[in-house]
Each structure stands twice: as structure tokens, then as C-alpha cells.
Amino acid sequence: MHHALFFHGETLHLLPSGALYWPARRTLAVSDLHLGKSERLARRGGMLLPPYETQATLEKLDRDLEHTRAETVICLGDSFDDLAALNGIEESSRLWLIRLMAGRDWTWITGNHDPGPIDLGGTHRAELRLHPFTFRHIADESETAEISGHYHPKASLAGQSRPCFLADAKRMILPAYGAYTGGLRSHDPALTTLMARDALAILTGRRALAIPMPR
């Protein structure tokens, strides 16, 4: 139930989970997992959340990797809620993530929440260029063929707000993949400034559904 999008000469599958799959390169991209968010909030004296978001996010990622058989994974930044979050998650979750990484070419793009390397293997980059695309955390207005995250976009249909991909001829912004991540409405100036007037919002949920980007 994915949405197939032809983008800069490549067919990309936008999955209902919020992941992007590039079949020609056997590559799965996800953004803003924010693993360890409940632990980070508790550690810093913030709002207490049930400590299940890391498990829920890993379950979803496990399903997508099993479904797509992806050989390459790109995490587009804010994979952890801060640089200390990896040490705060349960050991079972850490081992689960290591198992998912095993045998795959795994790239961690640095984000504003996790601006440095983590002690978990994989490759750490500020951005990754895989022709014809540039993968980074925060969109650069001067770029084309860009795939990014950061904004956690959401859009509403029939009064229901859902995380969404945003796509126009120049760029794509992925939704937040992690649980408890919140979001930014597509009509926010930060997003309407970045996206062209004819941009699409591809809603996640039971199936990926494309609509004109609400403004």
C-alpha cells in the first residue's frame, strides 16, 4: 500500500510507516527516530512518558526491513533524542538495533539532537550523496534532488492529522519515524517557504495517500 513516486529519474516507494524505499538501490531511508526520548525527558526532569517508544520504533523498523529486504539503511538524523540516549535505552533494545544493522550498509546522518558519532557502528556523515540524491537532516533551499527530515511534517485529511512526506520537483521531506515525536503542520511558514506551490503531501497510516500539500 505504498505510494510510488518518480523523483529525479528514480522510482521511490513511500511506505505507510513513514519510511522511504529505493528499490533500485535496495535502500531504506528513515528520519527522526528519536530513540530514547522518554529516557531523555525523565533524565532532564521533563514530562514523563511510558518508556515504550524505542521498542515501538524498532518493531516498525524491523517490519520494514523484513518487508523490503533492504541492504542499505540511511537514518536522516535525530536518530537518538540526544547523544546520551543510547546509553539510557534498555540493553535488549540496543542489541535489537545491533541485530538490525548486522550485514547492512548503515549510515547515520548527524542531526540537531545527535550532532556527533554514537558508539554503535555504522558510518557517520553530515550528509550522503548517492546519485542523483543528497540525503541530509535539514533541507537546504539551494539544493535539488534532496531528501531530508527534521521538520516532522503533518497534514490533515477529513479532520484527522497524520504524519506525511512532502514532495515537490526539487526535494522531499520525510515524516518523523519514531513514536512520541509530534509534528509540524504543513501550512507552517517553515514548510510553505521550502515547498513549491504544487507540492504533494503523502499521508502515512494504513496506506500512503497523496494529496495536494495543505497550505
pLDDT tens profile 163-197: 999 999 999 999 999 987 779 999 999 999 999 99
| Residue 211 and residue 200 in contact, taking contact as beta carbons nearer than 8 Å | yes
- Rounded Cα distance between 40 and 115, Å, is 15
User: Given pLDDT bands bounded at 50, 70 and 90, which one contains residue 43?
Assistant: very low
pTM over 0.95: no
Three-state secondary structure call for residue 30: strand
> For domain 3-212, is the CATH number 1.20.1070?
no
Q: What is the mean pLDDT of residues 140-147?
A: 95
According to the 3-state scheme, what is the secondary structure of 75-120? ECCCCECCCCHHHHCCHHHHHHHHHHHCCCEEEEECCCCCCCCCCC
The per-residue pLDDT of the chain, averaged, comes to 89
Tell me the chain's radius of gyration from C-alpha atoms.
Answer: 16
Residue 36 scores a pLDDT above 90: no
User: Given pLDDT bands bounded at 50, 70 and 90, which one contains residue 76?
Assistant: very high
